[in-house]
């Protein structure tokens, strides 16, 4: 089976697709990934073929900024409305038309059996329609609110019409098959289209938890949205607590920029989460999907300090189901972080809910099973 995978550039968009891409490759399928770039060489490491499609996010943001005559794109928008603004304007009106011609050209050359695409790669469903093959929507986080994809549908309608087609609703995301990676108890939406295949987004931990004494609290803001002031504030809140604080700042921030550290705190650029999470009693993070799912797999209570993108949705879902707490940007202080961490450490319900979600996550089908289903469903057509 030949698969054309379409993604917008960036680790948070490409990496979540790689477990399924690797499973397809392991079962003998051919996978070509079309994106603006191969972040960290992830596609090459998996032995898939990378093809460039689209100029990339920096150019897209520049195009969007050129439309805004006063101020900056997104300034002044309430956090819960960020996706309502950026998904239709950036990913639908700017990114999709920038990518679509190259994606279709690659598709006509490859003649794939299906087009696999992530939520924000809105050229993907249109390419599947033009090529006359099934489209498989790979969620990379919990579903966006349906009103967001309705707005995106309006924004991509002219592009679909230019190819002689009409959108089937929700920008074509839910036309055929959707791969859902969120445990049902956490997911806040239902599929508005056709078929759903569940898939586990992260491996089951090889070993059980070995919680540290004193409790280990992990602080990270991911690889993209690191904010020195937020790091300093959270560290100040936890510095006097009887906990071990482990901070990772990513490649773009110098650990020295955080200044003098409390005795209970150590900072590194990167530590593999699989090594650290088994001994963590809590995690404070930005709400990125990868960090959220990794923490869920280990049943770790979470305190979310949303920074952008889907962070606000993820934080709200975790708080709603009792797996953690979320603190909005305007409420982040040393005191609020300290109190939130104390609460998730002292109230057993947060770890109990986390462990229940870990069990639910572990029970989802692994990528190899989903790859087999797709082959049986599509490969013989």
Q: Which residue has the higher pLDDT, 226 or 101?
A: 101
pLDDT-derived band at 226 (thresholds 50, 70, 90) equals: low
Q: Do domains 2-201+364-379 and 216-362 have the same CATH topology?
A: yes
Q: Which residue ranges make up each domain of the chain? A: 2-201+364-379, 216-362
pTM, entire model:
0.93
Decide if pLDDT at 250 tops 60.
yes
pLDDT tens per residue across span 83-102: 999 999 999 999 999 999 99
Q: What is the reported pLDDT for 252?
A: 80
CATH topology of domain 2-201+364-379: Rossmann fold (3.40.50)
Q: What percentage of the chain's residues is helix, strand, coil (to nearest 5)?
A: 50, 15, 35
Q: What is the reported pLDDT for 99?
A: 98
Alpha-helical runs (H) found in 144-227: 146-162
pLDDT tens per residue across span 131-145: 999 999 999 999 999
Q: What is the reported pLDDT for 379?
A: 63
Q: What is the DSSP letter of 265?
A: E
Q: 216-362 in CATH: which number?
A: 3.40.50.2000
Decide if pLDDT at 14 tops 90.
yes
Decide if pLDDT at 25 tops 80.
yes
**Residue range 155-168: average pLDDT?**
98
Phi, psi of 135 (to 5 degrees): -110, 135
Q: What is the reported pLDDT for 141?
A: 95
User: How would you class 208 by CB atoms within 10 Å of its CB: exposed for 0-12, middle for 13-18, buried for 19 or more?
Assistant: exposed
Tell me how far CA of residue 122 lies from CA of 56, 244, 295, 302, 310, in angstroms.
Answer: 14, 43, 29, 31, 17
Q: What is the reported pLDDT for 224?
A: 62
**Residue range 253-276: average pLDDT?**
91
pLDDT tens per residue across span 292-320: 999 999 999 999 999 887 899 999 999 99
Report DSSP letters for 48-117, one per residue: PEEEE-S--HHHHHHHHHHH-SSS-TTTT--GGGHHHHHIIIIIIIIIHHHHHHHHHHHHHHH--SEEEE
């Amino acid at each position: 089976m030949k698969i054309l995978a379409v993604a917008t550039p960036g680790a948070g968009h490409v990496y979540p697709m790689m477990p399924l891409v690797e499973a397809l490759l392991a079962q003998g399928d051919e996978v070509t990934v079309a994106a603006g770039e191969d972040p960290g060489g992830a596609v090459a490491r998996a032995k898939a073929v990378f093809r460039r499609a689209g100029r990339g996010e920096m150019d897209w943001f520049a195009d969007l900024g050129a439309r805004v005559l006063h101020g900056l794109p997104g300034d002044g928008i309430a956090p819960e409305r960020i996706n309502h603004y950026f998904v239709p304007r950036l990913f639908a009106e700017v990114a999709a038309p920038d990518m679509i011609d190259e994606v279709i050209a690659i598709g006509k050359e490859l003649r794939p059996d299906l087009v696999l695409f992530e939520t924000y790669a809105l050229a993907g469903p249109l390419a599947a329609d033009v090529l006359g093959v099934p489209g498989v929507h790979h969620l990379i986080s919990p579903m966006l609110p349906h009103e967001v994809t309705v707005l995106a549908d309006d924004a991509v309608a002219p592009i679909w019409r230019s190819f002689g087609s009409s959108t089937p609703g929700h920008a074509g995301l839910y036309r055929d098959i959707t791969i859902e990676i969120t445990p049902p108890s956490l997911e806040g939406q239902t599929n508005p289209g056709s078929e759903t295949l569940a898939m586990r987004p992260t491996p089951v931990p090889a070993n059980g938890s070995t919680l540290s004494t004193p409790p280990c609290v992990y602080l990270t803001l991911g690889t993209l949205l690191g904010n020195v002031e937020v790091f300093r504030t959270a560290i100040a809140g936890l510095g006097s607590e009887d906990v071990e604080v482990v901070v990772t700042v990513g490649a773009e921030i110098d650990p020295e920029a955080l200044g003098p550290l409390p005795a209970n705190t150590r900072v590194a650029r990167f530590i593999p989460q699989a090594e650290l999470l088994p001994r963590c009693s809590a995690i404070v993070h930005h709400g990125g999907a990868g960090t959220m799912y990794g923490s869920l797999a280990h049943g770790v209570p979470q305190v979310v300090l949303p920074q952008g993108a889907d962070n606000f949705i993820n934080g709200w879902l975790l708080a709603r189901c009792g797996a953690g707490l979320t603190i909005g940007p305007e409420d982040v202080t040393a005191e609020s972080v300290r109190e939130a961490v104390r609460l998730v450490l002292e109230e057993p319900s947060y770890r109990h809910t986390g462990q229940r979600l870990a069990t639910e996550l572990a029970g989802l089908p692994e990528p190899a099973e989903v790859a087999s289903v797709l082959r049986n469903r599509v490969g013989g057509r």
